[in-house]
Amino acid sequence: MRSRADWAGAGSRNPTAAAPYGWHRAPCLRGTMTDETSASPEDGWSGEGCPASALARRSFLHGAAAGVAGVAGGAASGSGEALADTMVEIKEQPKSRTVPFHGHHQAGIATEPQQDAIFVSFDVTASDRAELTDLFRMLTARGRFLTAGGKPPEVPPTATPSDNGIMGPTFVADGLTLTVGVGASLFDDRYGLSTRKPVQLVTMTPFRHDDLDPSLSQGDLLIQICADHRDTTVHALLDILTHTKSAMKLRWRIDGQRNPERPVGVRRDWFGFKDGISNPSVTDDAQMNQVVWVQPKGAEPAWAAGGTYHVVRIVHFHIEAWQKVPVAQQERIFGRRKASGAPMYAVDENVTDLLDPIYTNDPQGLITPLNSHIRLANPQTPQTAATSTILRRSYDYDRSPNPPELDMGHAFVCFQQELNTYVAMQTRLEDETLVPYISPRGGGYFFALPGVRDEKDYYARGLLT
């Protein structure tokens, strides 16, 4: 029986010789095989400069996929073009959407949460107010360009590339949003901004059970990068780092993802419970103006109108300990059914997660424990009504491996008109029964700037001028 090398040799000596079943002859020139980046005689190059092993491999795949009819059609064509055509796999391009960059409010807050996120905090190193202004102008220019998608500027082949190329020569918007916020430390004496600090903006301090890591906490500036796919967020992060490294340096970063809705409704976190069920309607302007957006002529500085307080809290989950807890006990810890996400009074696992908990007929917490997570977050009492509504927009993270245990958890994210709303809510949660299974380790408080109104506007213009 003749070997493949014999067939290759026969092909080079007699191009018209019959080939074994499923193999096809095709004109071949050295350097024209686009799916072979390199080859050597040992790899199967024939005497005429044709990669015989690649040809045989491609022909075999073609014959297996197309069957006898495909083989006959390829042989009848007498050309390699038919074979090449059949080997091209046409893939549908991923759908891309563009979230408007300009507006009264920044995108990435009321925007439907994307699949992927990066939260990155910076220490600003700009030497003075003028350089700080230049930094915000640069962030605006990059944000405006990246969120629109397009083709990076062309540069000579020998010059430094104008883009990292992660998304190819032309990148799509892919639902990208950049949300920029400032921390309390930016309002020290470096830039003369102390009198313009948002009224409630403070440095995050530990709650009773927190174990905050200074290297994973605080910051002068926070950028929330969200998009529909991972390559888009990384592309944007590297672009921003490249264009701003002279004015700020990375302090900490946490990457997050949002799991698909399984089976339906709200997504689940790493504990297996549906997260973010109770939220104000982002399409209800009246409600958003009441609980999320800072309003003009209030206690906050005039420049802050249209912005909002932004909380990021990095919460480690003790996954292995949690998995040992019976589901019935897990449900009493959370205050919701695990399968459906519905309140405790709903026993059918197919019940909708849109049902509201009702505590008026359960004053002693016999159905929904008084110290369960959702009941402490919103006890539904007159005394807590003003500090029970926030806009949650959280992500899950996985930084494993990190011996001796998994490092998985929750990048809890929320927006609210008053930071004190969140602080009061989290203070109530100090007594929740979930405490043994979580360990808050970082994050910070920031003020998400008002939106960039138009092409002439830029981030923090009202603050800096």
- Domain presence at residue 101: no
Q: How many CA atoms lie within 13 A of 292 on its CB side?
A: 24
Q: Kindly give, in sequence order, each residue whose CB lies less than 8 Å from that of residue 74, ignoring residues fewer than 6 positions away.
A: 24, 62, 66, 82, 83, 86
- Domain presence at residue 29: yes
Q: Kindly give, in sequence order, each residue whose CB lies less than 8 Å from that of residue 199, ignoring residues fewer than 6 positions away.
A: 299, 300, 301
In this structure, the answer to whether residues 83 and 153 fall within a common structural domain is no
In this structure, the answer to whether residues 178 and 316 fall within a common structural domain is yes
Kindly write down the DSSP assignment for every residue of 440-456, as one continuous string: EEEEEEEEEPPP--STT
- Domain presence at residue 376: yes
- Domain presence at residue 66: yes
In this structure, the answer to whether residues 201 and 286 fall within a common structural domain is yes
- Domain presence at residue 45: yes
Q: For residue 15, what are the domain limits?
A: 4-87
Q: Which residue has the tokens 């340096």?
A: 249
Number of domains in the chain: 2
* Residue finishing a domain among 87, 102, 135: 87
In this structure, the answer to whether residues 350 and 434 fall within a common structural domain is yes
Please say whether the beta carbons of 62 and 21 come within 8 A: no
Structure tokens at 464: 């800096």
In this structure, the answer to whether residues 14 and 137 fall within a common structural domain is no
Q: Is this structure's pTM higher than 0.85?
A: no
In this structure, the answer to whether residues 38 and 156 fall within a common structural domain is no
Please say whether the beta carbons of 180 and 459 come within 8 A: yes
- Domain presence at residue 187: yes
In this structure, the answer to whether residues 181 and 282 fall within a common structural domain is yes
Which helix (H) or strand (E) element contains residue 81?
helix 80-87
- Domain presence at residue 30: yes
Please say whether the beta carbons of 447 and 309 come within 8 A: yes
Residues 220 and 243: their CA atoms lie apart, in Å, by: 18
What's the pLDDT score for residue 20?
Answer: 42
Q: Three-state secondary structure along 237-256?
A: HHHHHHHHCCCEEEEEEEEE
Q: How many CA atoms lie within 13 A of 266 on its CB side?
A: 25
Triad 397, 399, 400: Cα angle to 5°: 125
Segment-wise mean pLDDT, segments of 10 residues, the chain, 465 residues? 43 42 41 39 41 41 42 44 52 79 98 97 98 98 97 93 94 98 98 98 97 97 98 98 97 96 88 91 97 97 98 97 97 96 92 91 96 96 95 95 85 98 98 98 98 98 98
In this structure, the answer to whether residues 237 and 342 fall within a common structural domain is yes
In this structure, the answer to whether residues 180 and 51 fall within a common structural domain is no
In this structure, the answer to whether residues 431 and 392 fall within a common structural domain is yes
In this structure, the answer to whether residues 136 and 221 fall within a common structural domain is yes
Structure tokens at 423: 């602080």
* Residue finishing a domain among 87, 108, 130: 87
Q: How far apart are the first and last CA of the chain?
A: 84
In this structure, the answer to whether residues 36 and 166 fall within a common structural domain is no
* Residue finishing a domain among 41, 72, 87: 87
- In the chain, count H helices and then E strands: 11, 9
- Domain presence at residue 454: yes
Residues 24 and 450: their CA atoms lie apart, in Å, by: 64
444, β-bridge pairs: 312
